[in-house]
Amino acid sequence: MHWITSVLQQYPELAIFLTLALGFAIGPLKIKTFSLGTVTAVLLVGVVIGQLKIDISPTVKSVFFLMFLFAVGYSVGPQFFRGLKKDGLPQMGFAVLMLISCLVFPWLCAKFMGYNMGQAAGLLAGSQTISAVIGVAGDTISGLPLTAAEKTDYTNVIPVCYAVTYLFGTAGSAWLLASVAPAMLGGIEKVKQACRELEAKMGGGNEADQPGMISADAVIVFRAYKVTNDWFGDGKTVKELEAYLASKGYRLFVERLRQQNNLVEAAPDVRIRKNDLVVLSGRRENIMNEDQWIGPEVQDHELLNFPAEVLSVLISKKEISGIKVSELRAKPFMHGIFIRSIKRADIAVPVMGDTVIDRGDTIELIGLKKEVDKAAVQIGYADRPTEKTDMMFVGIGIVLGGLLGVLTIHVKGVPISLSTSGGALIAGLVFGWLRSQHPTFGRIPAPALWMMNNVGLNMFIAVVGITAGPGFVDGFKQVGVSLFLVGAVATALPLITGVLLGKYIFKFHPALILGCTAGARTTTAALGAIQDAVESKTPALGYTVTYAVGNTLLIIWGVVIVLLMR
């Protein structure tokens, strides 16, 4: 044991990676439906390892924290600025009002309990499940005219309070939004019915049968058939066959033919005759019984051996941004192409006819390679898988953001600044938006973005836990068990406020109320619980804009609450 302690003290980088390994192993473990989550697990493991009194340079956590904040801004930037548009303003207004309550209620609780600025910041971070506040509040405290001992005490108590209040902040939010909030909106059955009606209004269900549409869990298949049906008579064109199948309720496309042993590419005016072989594409359930409309299925390897493609496309064309999915699928270039999914700020959005497509969305297309490639040019930018990250873009963004953050103004002798962390977040927002406008540069592949988000944050949290470890027990005694109850109050009141705002002030649809409330609190786990409870994906329609605003303001509140408690 002495040898391990000595090694970890001499090589603190090993202590960090040990903390990450154990935290990522423990975090996902579940007791029934409850789990600590990776961030909390890493923090607690760091606290335990920190009992060995391991010294780590604060620069380490700063580097990874800036990387994390830039990645957060980059992810939500397009939706943040989209919220400034006319159609996004109601959701943005809702988010701002609710987020003010997310600051005010923890602040009032902290004032009532007599907490110091470090305890208040930890209460905010845990009750609102925004881990980044730990770093932002710590940076703000370090810039205040306090003694070194005060700065250390206040900074070290932040993760203690975060750990105590985070548990209800996460599990309690999911329970409140999935169970209590629907009851406030008339009952779970009423909300379910409202969601079904919204789906029907937006073209859900039957819309997935339309050309250019596919439900996220459906499978596109290509099959060959021999033409034997008498309907073909002396011949029908490809266009006529597709219209005929559509009249039977099957949205299918002719992709290729074999005529007199020659392979022929499909075109609208190509004539199909008896004994020809045709390849159809479509959803599996629609294509399985085509032998009754065309003829028996055949296996022809050469006929079926052609390139099909699944391609993610970043929406960047002005003429596509703001239109409905039903309008997109009606475009001539979408013939033969299916939409498998739409992602907005990395959140899956329901693929329905009335779903509006925004600039910065990523849609997944399926079809023949040549057709998908042509459609991608008309829609935006083909986001093909790559391992390369535009590190010049990332580096410049963080530097410019940091330079903005260090600018300081003095109000009554108190220095106020965004700090380098707040600057990195703002830079991420702007650079993420620029990427959506000009997708030829600034590429950060999804795996790299995951690394920046998850490893960046957890590396920071690991260092925080290890550093705060020696004083964690004393800090816990200082805040007391009562903090858990105070945290529950600070968690619940903003969520209840959000539901009431959505119902009585903004008069949103129940699905949007639930989605907007979860988004403003940036609680993805609660969104999943909501969707399971109401048996619908429609709450995600209210999640993305408010999530972008929440991710920004909640982090900035880390600065504000410290100044309010001064």
Task: For residue 237, report the phi and psi dihedrals to the nearest 5 degrees.
Answer: -80, 165
Q: What letter represents residue 331's amino acid? A: K
pLDDT per residue over 424-465, tens digit each? Answer: 888 998 998 888 888 878 888 888 988 998 898 899 889 988
> For position 206, what pLDDT does the model report?
42
**Whether the predicted pLDDT of 209 surpasses 60:** no
Among 412, 552, 519, 511, smallest CA distance to 204 is for 511
d(CA 260, CA 410): 84
Distance in angstroms (rounded) separating the CA atoms of residues 110 and 250 = 61
Name 254's bridge partners: 280
pLDDT at position 34, please? 67
pLDDT for 291: 65
Helix residue ranges per DSSP H, 51-147: 58-82, 89-113, 117-127, 132-142
What is the average per-residue pLDDT within 158-164?
90
What number is the average pLDDT over the span 173-190?
93
Closest CA to 98 of 536, 535, 513, 562: 513
Find out whether 291 and 225 touch, Cβ atoms under 8 Å. yes
CA dist 500 and 252 (Å) reads: 46
Q: Which are the contacts of 379, defined by CB distance < 8 A and separation ≥ 6?
A: 313, 315, 317, 320, 328, 363
158 in Cβ contact with 137 (< 8 Å) = yes
Taken in order 358, 361, 362, 363, the sign of the CA dihedral is negative
Of the listed ranges 29-43, 92-106, 211-225, the one predicted with least confidence: 211-225
Distances (CA, A) of 161 to 129, 152, 479, 482: 12, 15, 7, 11
Say which residue, 235 or 474, is predicted with more confidence.
235
Helix (H, G, I), strand (E, B) or coil at 438: coil
| The residue type at 344 | R
306's CB contacts (< 8 A; 6+ apart) are 255, 256, 368
Q: Which of 289, 293, 303 is nearest to 241 (CA)?
A: 293
Mean pLDDT of 98-115: 96
- Closest Cα partner for 78 from 548, 474, 395? 548
Output 419 or 182, whichever has higher pLDDT: 182
Percent of the chain with pLDDT over 70: 93
Six-digit token pair at 207? 């819309």
| Residue in this structure with the two tokens 């999943």, named with its chain if needed | 528
* Sheet of strand 262-265: strand arrangement: 262-265, 253-259, 277-283, 220-226, 297-298
Q: What does the pLDDT read at residue 216?
A: 39
**pLDDT for residue 141:** 92
Tell me the pLDDT tens digit for each residue of 353-402.
Answer: 888 898 888 999 988 888 899 999 999 998 877 778 889 999 999 999 98
CA distance linking residue 409 with residue 415, whole number of Å: 6
Query: What confidence tens digit (pLDDT) does each residue in 324-357 have?
Result: 998 998 898 988 888 888 988 778 888 888 888 9
Q: Which residues contact 303 (CB under 8 A, 6 or more apart)?
A: 224, 256, 258, 263, 277, 279
